[in-house]
Chain A
Amino acid sequence: MDPLDIARWQFGITTVYHFLLVPLTLGLGPVVGLFHTLYVRSGDERWLRLTKFWGKLYLVNFALGVATGIVQEFQFGMAWSDYSRFVGDVFGAPLAMEGLLAFFVESTFLGLWIFGWNRLPKRLHLATLWAAVIGSWISAFFIIAANSWMQHPVGVDLVDGRPVLVDIWAVLTNNTALAAYSHTLLGAVSVAGAFLLGIAWYHLWRRRHDGIDTVDATGRVQPGSAPGIPGRDAADHSVWLRSLRIGAVVAIIGFGGVAVTGDLQAKLMFDQQPMKMAAAEAACETGSGFSVIAIGDLSSPDCSNVITLIQVPGVLGFLAKGDVNATVQGVSDLIPQYQQKYGTDVDYVPLMPVTYWGFRLMIGFGAIAAFASVVALWLTRKGTVPRSPWIMRLALFGILAPFGANAAGWVFTEMGRQPFVVAPNPNPSGVDGVYMFTAAAVSPGVTAGELLFSVITLTLVYAVLLVVEVAILVRYVRAGIPGAMPELVAPPDDPDDPTKRDVLAFAY
């Protein structure tokens, strides 16, 4: 096997996996921060319950995100040493800044938040959470800035065939980075929204199923309580209803924002990486029609066998340039241009089935989840959910949709950049001549055997940990609030013992 292919699979697997965890961390963080803030401001115990419950799930997820993030930083040097040498002058800086300016803050203050209950003054304790959340958002910015430089290299001079950084500000304010960052964060927000919505739906359903909540003749909810089940009191109902509504609103905001920023990103991409967008559309010929469905021979996916079944005229031109009459260059017209600039012996068309369907899955999953959020708000307008177990299962299943959209989006944008690892785009503002083929980026000294060893081991370990992670999440979800607040089950035997409370209110 070719080491290049194995190294690419490894990067793909580890990155997509890492990015299942990251958006939940990025999206859930501010939501937990909001709950905690409302608790500190109002003293309303229901906000405390929300903080503790969602905070618990946030932390379970955070751990695996951190663990898999280390792999990302190491594998540039391990598997892609020639890439690291080529881009080192530019690419390492944002990674190091991420650590120094963001990840230190995130990790240190999250530790303070986890163990700081009752130990730190309330407001200071709240501030530690916000420091960690803001740290995670800044962290994402530097990573996106580094990735965006690979899509649209700016801020460098070409010296002896190697990019040398001359303007860090240009790298950090790269228009590609700003668009991608907002798009990514809003995508993360929508993940958190669907997560809240699905899990809260389950609990409201459970309460009805267990006969705790009933509805009156008008369908309005009558919250009850079940003294036999810890935590299932009347406040519990309002906790879940708040979660559900906030989740739906957060998801709708997220999806709305994703559409706007996605459009912004696409317009930049039509300029900067025309081949990627043409491949996303399977647009072989120059034109302005948007392909809704196309089929082709997957065994030899190229322009000779793409058949567009449904096409909407003008939409592609509008997406690319805001003008229905604008034409967008097709793959067949772009190939000669790339060949003239970067050599004739390379296939410049990304794997079209992957880009085409990746793009559509991203938008499709996003749209489904957005629609579902609106429907959810309507269905729960009278204060609880329908008794149907199938709608409940659908709501839980819907948690996966925005995850799918995120993963599909990354697969699309990274695969669409091929065969380049650093994409050339002299127009409109990139630096001409700065590009690198993926085939030239892999570590020359590393054998296929080593890469196989790591890709197999990491994939197996990741698979096992995903099972464990989901099992733990499910356990805490089913337990409801008391899972994260043991004091609701059994009040501490000596709540006033200062020696005990003063040292640790929480322990592993």
Chain B
Amino acid sequence: MEILPTVWFIALAVLWTGFLLLEGFDFGVGMHLLVRARSEDERRVMLNTIGPVWDGNEVWLLVAGAGTFAAFPFWYASLFSTLYVPLVLVLLGLIFRAVAIEYRGKGASARWRRAWDWAIGLGSFLAAFGLGAGLALTTTGLPIDANGDRVGGPFVWLTPVAVLGGLAVVGFSLVHAATFLALKTDGPVRERAGRDVVRMAPIALLPLVGWVLVVQVNTGEPYTWALVVLAAVAAVGGWLAARRRLEGRAFLGFAAFLLLGAASIFAAVYPVVLPSTIDHAYDLTISNAASGDYTLGVMTVITGVALPFVLAYQAWSYWVFRKRLAAHHLPAAHEPAPAVRP
């Protein structure tokens, strides 16, 4: 076993899973804001639950991407170039979501705010769907040749697995965000989110279960199946807790479901990072896609030092903004007027 590439395979599993866990509820809140909120106050309550933290959460995606580049450049190059079209859509989604969160409150008209609601909601959906599709495809394979380049047209990635993976992340984000909103808000938003969790989870989590099972059937081993069983237990536990309105436990249950489910996927595909559907001789693995030991060693030291601090100060930021939000907490919307003599 190659030690450093394995360490980095695990590190990237942690980074990508961390991204799904944290951005999961950001994306989900974005979608809830568009389709589940019933008034301007409710939309603002929802948006401000992620207001202080969403940008820090998004960095998990950037670090996962850059970490993939640094540790497994051949994987990064093949995956990102093969998924050109869906990643453009992901980028557009992320761009619109980011600016919309900042710009939305900068105008008071209903049209202005509704337009940015669409940008937040659709942007979150596109980003979640595209990244889910991409992650699913890297676990089941893409048509790449000996150089790692795509064989086939721009839409060759558009397979049932891509749709399954896309729906998996969208569905999980919706449930995860509902538990998050139930935990972070008070009033009607909390009530509705609590009901949403119970009603949505049995259906919305199915695609993620499907993705896990596809991977397990392909390359599962007894211990990865054990992780799947634990994940299922966590999901059921989360759902039962949600039914009894135990919001904290429900959140932990579904979070554990994601962590265990993702762990079962990464463990099952190891040591392959991107299988070739053309010929398994072209598979990218932790051996042939990795950077040299020196680079991996440097990155291991940096990550080993930095990540505990990141976890600590991000945890602190959640602690600072731990209080539940309700409509009466929100400062009134403010319309800037030109400072001129009329």
Chain A: residues with CB nearer than 8 A to chain B? Answer: 59-60, 62-64, 66-71, 73-74, 76-79, 81-82, 84-85, 87-93, 95-101, 103-105, 107-112, 114-116, 119-120, 164-166, 168, 203, 206, 210-212, 226, 228-232, 443-447, 449-450, 453-454, 457-458, 461, 465, 468-469, 472, 475-476, 478-483, 486, 489, 492, 499-500, 502-508
Q: Are A111 and B53 in contact (CB under 8 A)?
A: yes
Dominant secondary structure of chain A at its interface with chain B: helix
If A229-B339, A478-B338, A500-B328 touch, does A447 touch B154 (CB 8 Å cutoff)? yes
**Min CB gap A105→B, angstroms:** 8
Q: Are B298 and A93 in contact (CB under 8 A)?
A: yes
Alpha-carbon distance between A98 and B69 when the two chains are bound, in angstroms? 13
Q: Are B323 and A110 in contact (CB under 8 A)?
A: no
Q: What chain B residues lie within 8 Å of A74 (beta carbons)?
A: 65, 80, 87, 90-91
Interface residues of B, count at CB 8 A: 90
If A70-B94, A103-B59, A443-B81 touch, does A507 touch B73 (CB 8 Å cutoff)? no
Chain B: residues with CB nearer than 8 A to chain A? Answer: 44, 47-48, 51-56, 58-59, 61-63, 65-71, 73-74, 76-85, 87-88, 90-92, 94-96, 98-99, 101-107, 144-145, 147-151, 153-154, 291-292, 294-295, 298-299, 302-303, 306-307, 310, 313-314, 317, 320-321, 323, 325, 328-332, 334, 336-342
**Min CB gap B55→A, angstroms:** 4
**Min CB gap A447→B, angstroms:** 6
- Among B84, B298, B314, B330, point to the contact of A504 (Cβ < 8 A): B330
- Among A79, A165, A476, point to the contact of B81 (Cβ < 8 A): A79
Given A89-B73, A500-B328, 18 other A-B residues pairs in contact with their CB atoms under 8 A = A63-B98, A78-B88, A85-B74, A88-B291, A90-B295, A91-B69, A96-B69, A100-B302, A100-B307, A103-B59, A166-B294, A230-B337, A443-B84, A446-B150, A450-B84, A450-B154, A453-B85, A454-B88
Alpha-carbon distance between A492 and B150 when the two chains are bound, in angstroms? 60
Q: Are B151 and A445 in contact (CB under 8 A)?
A: yes
Q: What chain B residues lie within 8 Å of A70 (beta carbons)?
A: 58, 61-62, 91, 94-95
Q: Are B329 and A92 in contact (CB under 8 A)?
A: no
Alpha-carbon distance between A475 and B96 when the two chains are bound, in angstroms? 21
Q: What chain B residues lie within 8 Å of A210 (beta carbons)?
A: 340-341
Q: What chain B residues lie within 8 Å of A476 (beta carbons)?
A: 106, 336
**Min CB gap B9→A, angstroms:** 15
Q: Are A165 and B340 in contact (CB under 8 A)?
A: no
Q: Are B337 and A73 in contact (CB under 8 A)?
A: no
Alpha-carbon distance between A68 and B317 when the two chains are bound, in angstroms? 25
Alpha-carbon distance between A110 and B317 when the two chains are bound, in angstroms? 10
Q: What chain A residues lie within 8 Å of B67 (beta carbons)?
A: 92, 96, 99
Residue among A115, A120, A507 with the highest chain B CB neighbour number at 10 A: A507
Q: Are A73 and B62 in contact (CB under 8 A)?
A: yes
**B150: nearest chain-A partner, CB-CB:** A445
